[in-house]
Each structure stands twice: as structure tokens, then as C-alpha cells.
Amino acid sequence: MKALRILVSCALLVAHVPHAVAAPISFNTALPVHAGGMLFRGQGVWMRMHDDPSSMGREMDVAAVPSTLVYGATSKLALMGVFPYLDKRLEIKSTGAVRRASGLGDIMTVGRYEVFARSSAGQTSRGAVFAGLKWPSGRNDESDALGVLPPSVQLGSGSYDPIFGTVWSVQWLAFQVDADLSYRRNTHADDFKFGDSLEQNISLQYRLWPRRLEAEGLPSFLYGVLEANSVYQAKNQAGGVADDDSGGYHLFLTPGLQWVSKRTVFELAAQLPAVQSLNGAALKTDYRLIGSFRLWF
């Protein structure tokens, strides 16, 4: 479930984008695309969660490879699909047990509609609302020799989970700021429910090179990126009873770099935990590494 948060939240709401532009790295809620155009984003995310406050010695590693496709249905409406491949591994040092699952995760579909647009000399502002649904395409009944895998290791939740929110962007010549706010209502499946989540993201992208724009032509650009990502998740429920060792608050700081050319973007970032106020013995995150590219059609 943590991997999906990364997939479902990225900004710049330019309605007519003729070439690649800078955008947030860690959230996807407003990847820019012009009417009739398409954008493909391939991404790789590595998450290490070895900080176990319990005596069990749990160590979890997740590799996520989400593919995102965005289509500009109109100048204001964009449609998005996120298709993740997941590889999850949980090792429990106290018992020597290793639990693992890999395959297609839960697909997310999102529609985004622009509700505000304003342009002036040297500045462009955009605002949009979005809504979507996470589909139970990933298996939630994987098992091994020890029995059924725990929900955190399963590829999917088995539930239909709606998401909705808003995203805003302000772009200047040398930098831009993007922010989003989203809420996901997780539902029950097989007598289990992941806690609902509220996510906030903000991203600053600053052009490092070239320092001065040329009068003609479209050169490549190097951007420095700094993001803050906060997630509050309610406790999970099993059999109608809250799990006191789940849920809580995360705040990540995410520095990164972007190389932007005419039709492509390459980017790298690291998500580092600044605050982790979790319930009980919930497993903490050490770091997340993100690498991705975007291609406009």
C-alpha cells in the first residue's frame, strides 16, 4: 500500500504543452499533457523498511515499477492510468522466515479537470480537481509454505478504493511550485481494511542550467528539485478490530534532479524520512529511491 501512495499523487497543469517540462518527481496527480496528446512515464521505486521497533527483527524491501499513461481528452480533462509491477520481500529475523510476492499490483485510474487558469508575463497558474479509483487487479490471496501472506506483503488489497483531491501549480521562468492534497477511502475485502489516508505534497523545481534562456531554440534544462511529502494513515482493521500496530504519520523530504529535453525527462530522487510518528510497532521506512523517465507523444 505504501508503494501505491507514491504512484498516485505530479503537477504542472498546463493545458497546451507542446514539449517536455519540469514537474514533481514523487507525485503524479497532474502530469502535463495537451489536448489529444499522450504522456508515458516509466518509473522505478526501491523502498527499504528495516527500522523495526519490535523485537521481531522485521526487514521489508519493496521494488515497484509503475507505468503511467496520461491522455489529454480535452484541453481541460486528462485521463490517467497507473499499472504497477511489485516485488515485496519480508524477512523476520527472529524466526528466519522469509515471505515474498511479485507480480501485477492494483491498477489506479484517475480523471483530472482544470478549474482555474491564469497567465501573465513570466507567470502561469493552474488549478484542478481529480478523482479516481484503485481497482483490485493485484492478488490478495498469495500464500507460501507458512500459509497466507500478511496483507502488507500481498500484491493487492482486494478492495475498490476511491481517491479524490486537488492540485495547483505556479510556474515562473526559472522555477515552479506544485502542491496537491488527496484523500483515499479504503474499503473492506475479505474482512480486512487498510486505513484511510490523507496525503499532502509540495514540490519546488529550480532551473540550474542554463542560467540564461536563449532567444531562439529549445535547449535541454537541468532542474534541482526539493519536495516534501506527508501522509497520515488511519489504523488498519481486521475483523472489525483496529490494529494498534498500524497507521500513523510520515513526513518525507525528497531532493532530486531532472534533465528536461524537448520530448523527454529523466529524473532521480531520494525520499528521506524527516518525521515518522507511527502507532505501536508499525514498521518504519529507512528511505526510498526513485528513478524515472517521461516521454511525450
Q: What is the CA radius of gyration of the chain?
A: 20
Map out the domains of the chain with their CATH numbers.
Answer: 2-296 (2.40.160.40)
pLDDT at 22: 86
For a pLDDT cut of 90, what percent of the chain falls above it? 85
Whether this model's pTM surpasses 0.75: yes
pLDDT at 29: 73
**From CA 70, how far away is CA 11, in angstroms rounded?**
13
Average pLDDT, rounded, for the chain: 92
> What integer is the mean pLDDT of 57-71?
98
DSSP 8-class letter at 247: -
- Grid cell at residue 236: 488498519
pLDDT over 80 at 91, yes or no: yes
17: pLDDT strictly greater than 90:
no
Query: Residue 273's pLDDT is what?
Result: 99
- pLDDT tens digit sequence for 238-287: 999 999 999 999 999 999 999 999 899 999 999 999 999 999 999 999 99
User: Which of 71, 74, 93, 96 lies closest to 82, judged by CA?
Assistant: 71
Amino acid identity of 145? Answer: A
Residue 195 has pLDDT above 80, yes or no: yes
Confidence of residue 20 (pLDDT cuts 50, 70, 90): confident
* Residue 1, pLDDT score: 53
Which has more confidence, 120 or 162? 162
Look at residue 190 and tell me whether its pLDDT is greater than 80: yes
> How many Cβ atoms from other residues are within 10 Å of residue 219's Cβ?
12
* Cβ neighbours of 215 (radius 10 Å): 5
Q: What is the mean pLDDT of residues 51-65?
A: 98
**Average pLDDT of span 141-150:** 97
CA 193 to chain centroid, in Å, comes to: 20
DSSP string, 152-184: TTSS--SS-EEEEEEEEEEEESSEEEEEEEEEE
Residue 2 in this model has a pLDDT that exceeds 70? no
Residue 6 has pLDDT above 50, yes or no: no
